[in-house]
Amino acid sequence: MNNDYLRVNSKVCDDEITEASFTTSKKSEPRSVKDEEQKITLFSLLKRGKVNELGWNGPKTRNILTMLLVSVLFSVVLYFVSTVNYSIAALIAAICIDVIALPLCLIVFFYELNVMRNVGIFEIGIGTLIGALYYLIIMLIESPLKERFTFGYASANIHTGIVTIIEDILLFSIAHLCARLFKKDCIFGTILIVTCVFGGYIVADTFTEMVNGLFVGETTGVLKIYISKDSAEFNTMIKNFMPTLIKEGVIMSALMCFWTVICGALVGILLSPVRKKYFSNPTVYALFCIVVAMHVAVSVEYSYGPLTVLIYCLTIFVSVLLAIKLLNYSVAITNFSYARQK
C-alpha cells in the first residue's frame, strides 16, 4: 500500500494527531537460472553470449563448422588432383573424406551439447561400430536375395520400400536398445549414443553406395585406367560417377543426418523421465513413421523427373523442420545449470 496513515492520540491533547506515511517499493526479484533455461532455443545456443549467463560457453559451433569446411575443401582438392593425375587413389581418399565428414561433425556437435559429459570415447566408438556392423549384416543378407530374384520397375520399387522399412525399424530398435544399455540420464546423452549408431550406419551405407557407383560394372576398366592412366576412360568414369556423388555423397548423406537427429531426439524423449504431455508414445512413433515414409519416398525411383525433384524438396523441408523442432524441445528440457556446477 502506498500511503498508510498512523493516527496516535496524544496524552496531552486529543486534538493533536501525529501522521506518518511510508511507501513500499516492490523489489524486482532476480531472474532464476531456470527462467533463463526455458528461453534457450537451438539458435540461442549457437550464440555464445546468451548461454554465458548460465556459466556455459555452449557448443563450439565455429570449430565444428571449420572442421566441416576444411573437410569439404580437402575433398574438392583431392577430386581435382584425381582428375588431373588420373589418380584412383586420390579419388578413393576424397570419397572417404566425404563419407566421414558430416557424421563426424554431427557426433562432435552432440558431444558438445551433452553438458553432463557422461558419454566417453569408448561408448562413442562402440556405438559407431554397432551401426557399421548392422549395415554389413544387412548387406550380407540382402545381396543373395538380389542375385536370386529379378525385379521389374514396379516390383523393384516395392522391394526397395519393404527393405527400407525393415532396415529403418531395426536400426531404430538397435539404437534404442543401445541407449537403454548405456543408461544415460539426460536427453543429449541419449541423442549422442543414437547419433553414433546411426553415424556408423551412414558411413558404411554411403561408402558402399559411392564405391558401387564408381566401380560396379567397371572393374576391368578401373584396372586398365589404374595401369595405363587412360585419360578418356578416366573422364568417362568420373562423368558417370557425378550423379552418384551428388545424390549419395551430398543429398542422401545430409538427409540421413537430419533423420539421425530426429530419431535421436525421439529415443531421448522415450527414455527421458521429463516429458511434455503432448509427446506421448503414439506421437513419438508416429513421428518415426514419418521419417521412415520420407526415407522410402527418396529411395524408390520415379519415371517423371519433376516429381523426383518435388519429393526431394518436400523431404528436405520436412526433415529440417522436424529436426529443429525436436532439438528446440530437447534444449528446453535440458538442465544447463549442471554445466555451471561442473
User: pLDDT tens for residues 10-48?
Assistant: 444 444 444 444 444 444 444 444 444 446 676 766 665
CB-based contact 21:3 (threshold 8 Å) = yes
User: In which residue are the cell numbers 544387412 written?
Assistant: 138
Per-residue pLDDT for 133 more than 80?
Answer: yes
How many C-beta atoms lie closer than 10 Å to residue 293's C-beta? Answer: 15
pLDDT-derived band at 153 (thresholds 50, 70, 90) equals low
Is pLDDT of 220 > 80? no
Q: b/e string for 223-235 if b means 16 or more Cβ within 10 A? A: eebeeeeeeebbe
Which residues, 6 or more positions from 281, have their beta carbon under 8 angstroms from its beta carbon?
270
**SS3 state of residue 193:** helix
Is residue 159's pLDDT more than 90?
no
Instruction: Report the mean per-residue pLDDT for the chain.
Output: 79
Three-state DSSP state, 303: coil
Compute the average pLDDT of residues 88-111. 91
The pLDDT assigned to 320 comes to: 95
Sequence length of the chain is: 342
pLDDT of residue 257: 95
Residue 340, all three cell numbers: 555451471
